[in-house]
Amino acid sequence: MSEIIQNPDGYSVAKDGTLPSSPPPAGIAISGLETATGLLRVARVNAAGALVTTGGGGGGGTPVPNEGAVTFQTVTVAVPGTPVQGPNLTIPDGFGVVVKCRSAQAGAPIAYVGNGAATVIVSATRMELLKGESIGYKITNMDLLFFDSDTAGCIVELTAEQ
């Protein structure tokens, strides 16, 4: 007999991923501890009524596979106050991009990161990165980011798994 995982609303699913004869409505989450491993498993029922594993705590769930390569890009802000769009580079599902204000550059530039040409030039709607600082974003494409700086020639580094 299959182990049963049940959510607090009373919907259950077999450990092998099969739904009961009357599946729960789309969007409902099903989670529980596997008795054999002690891992929390989390799944969601999609619109087609199929079970989709969405992850879990403590190492549970379906892991995101490793990617086969890493991409490194740079963006140079030539003129402060003139936003520069990130390169058109797709980021695979489950991964993100790391943005860093390059350490090895003259002076003490501040790089600005925003989600649009209009937002990156406004202090209230952008992120500031000092030389050597970095931040990660879970986005689908590097071109969703815009960059500016207080210093001409400021270099921003971008890296993502591909």
3-class DSSP assignment, residue 142: helix
3-class DSSP state of 125: helix
Can you give the pLDDT of all 162 residues of the chain as single tens digits?
Answer: 344 444 444 555 555 555 555 555 555 555 554 455 555 555 555 666 665 555 544 444 455 566 677 889 999 999 999 999 999 998 888 788 999 999 999 999 999 999 999 999 999 999 999 999 999 998 889 999 999 999 999 999 999 887
- At 83-107, the pLDDT tens digits run 999 999 988 887 889 999 999 999 9
Cα 84 from Cα 133, distance rounded (Å): 19
Give pTM, 2 decimals.
Answer: 0.61
Within 10 angstroms of residue 126's Cβ, the number of other Cβ atoms is: 20
Question: What is the SS3 assignment for 126?
Answer: coil
What is the number of domains present in the chain?
2
Domain check: are 44 and 17 in the same one? yes
Is residue 88 domain-resident? yes
Are residues 142 and 73 in contact, defined by beta-carbon separation less than 8 angstroms?
yes
In terms of residue numbers, what domain contains 142? Answer: 70-161
Within-domain flag for 78:
yes
On whether residue 61 sits in a domain, the answer given is no
Hey, is 143 helix, strand or coil? helix
Q: Which burial class, exposed, middle or buried, applies to 39 when counting CB atoms under 10 A from its CB (0-12, 13-18, 19+)?
A: middle
Q: Helices (H), strands (E): how many in the chain?
A: 0, 13
User: For residue 19, which of 35, 34, 9, 30 has the smallest C-alpha distance?
Assistant: 30
